């Protein structure tokens, strides 16, 4: 999604060799996919090699809003339908899962935060209300962005979140969603953080798609910066959140074939920020993922593909599972 404020500066560029060694030590299997992509110099659509030079960043990524794009249209027919949560686990009754207490992730709690709510378009006064995010005050939420055809970020994030939930439940995890489009608008970014905190989640992932300039392609994972201001204190979650983010990024490359962002993160697929309430106010390991740029024709072709969205969910699930099994 995109913002009406400029993003925090990207972290200082480090040696590609040092980064490769560090992440490969954490996720050798997942990062192998990243290295294969780099070696071939291509992307999943058979296009030219990525641009490794620094590009102008988008208006931003995460919780805010730049240009929202066309008005939302009905969700595609291949999108999962929201369903009533089962007690203690926000899963659809039809989701396959192990017997209670079984599976490699049994006893683990994962919170999935689908970015934005499709009803936000009709509740601009409510979502423009400012909330305290520790470092400053920021809008409760935004509408998110959309592709030129009208496919909205909120539709995309709802679909991928439900796919991810099903995959994690199959491994025995207890999965909670911050919302399932079951409310008129919101929740606000501070409430989204509090949902993960109250659940004492072992991992939280907030799912988004960006709204950047044409030609800006690829995904990036946003990590919390060290923040200790007001009600925000990320001291204890910075390190585990980075571990989570690196695992998600490596597995996302491996399963989707998509490249790390060519406009943020110095080609690492990782970006550190201190201006997102969802991260600042979290007391449990949490990352954001921007899965692609909805304004680029090649990226939106992926984001609107049910097959690719399933791969995206699998990559996130593999990264989260690896983090929880470490």
Just list the catalytic residues. Answer: 290
Q: What is the DSSP string of 28-97?
A: HHHHHHHHHHHHHT--TTS-PPP--S-----S--SS--S---SPP-PPPTTSPPP-PPBTTB---TT---
With a CB cutoff of 8 Å and minimum separation 6, the contacts of 179 are 114, 117, 186, 187
With a CB cutoff of 8 Å and minimum separation 6, the contacts of 25 are none
Q: What is the distance of C-alpha 105 from the center of its chain? A: 21
Structure tokens that stand for 88 in this block: 């203690």
CB 272 within 8 A of CB 8: yes
Burial of 213 (0-12, 13-18, 19+ CB in 10 A): middle
CB 65 within 8 A of CB 58: no
């Amino acid at each position: 999604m995109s913002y009406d404020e400029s993003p925090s500066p990207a972290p200082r560029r480090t040696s590609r060799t040092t980064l490769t060694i560090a992440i490969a030590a954490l996720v050798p299997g997942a990062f192998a996919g990243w290295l294969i992509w780099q070696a071939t110099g291509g992307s999943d659509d058979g296009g030219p090699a990525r641009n490794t030079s620094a590009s102008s960043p988008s208006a931003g990524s995460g919780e805010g809003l730049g240009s929202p794009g066309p008005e939302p249209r009905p969700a595609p027919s291949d999108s999962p339908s929201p369903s009533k949560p089962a007690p203690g686990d926000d899963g659809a009754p039809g989701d396959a899962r192990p017997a209670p207490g079984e599976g490699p992730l049994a006893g683990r709690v994962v919170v999935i935060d689908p970015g934005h709510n499709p009803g936000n378009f009709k509740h601009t006064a409510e979502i423009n209300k400012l909330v305290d995010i520790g470092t400053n005050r920021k809008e409760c939420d935004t509408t998110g962005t959309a592709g030129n055809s009208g496919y909205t970020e909120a539709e995309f994030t709802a679909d991928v979140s439900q796919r991810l939930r099903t995959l994690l439940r199959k491994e025995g995890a207890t999965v909670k969603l911050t919302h399932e489009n079951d409310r008129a608008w919101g929740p606000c970014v501070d409430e989204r953080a509090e949902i993960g905190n109250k659940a004492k989640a072992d991992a939280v992932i907030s799912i988004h798609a960006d709204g950047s300039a044409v030609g800006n392609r690829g995904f990036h994972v946003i990590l919390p910066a060290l923040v200790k201001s007001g009600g925000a204190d990320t001291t204890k979650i910075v390190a585990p959140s980075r571990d989570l983010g690196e695992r998600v990024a490596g597995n996302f490359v491996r399963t989707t074939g998509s490249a790390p962002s060519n406009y943020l993160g110095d080609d690492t697929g990782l970006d550190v920020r201190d201006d997102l309430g969802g991260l600042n106010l979290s007391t449990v390991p949490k990352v954001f993922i921007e899965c692609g740029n909805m304004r680029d024709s090649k990226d939106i072709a992926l984001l609107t593909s049910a097959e690719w969205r399933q791969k995206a969910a699998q990559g996130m699930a593999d990264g989260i599972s690896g983090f929880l099994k470490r």
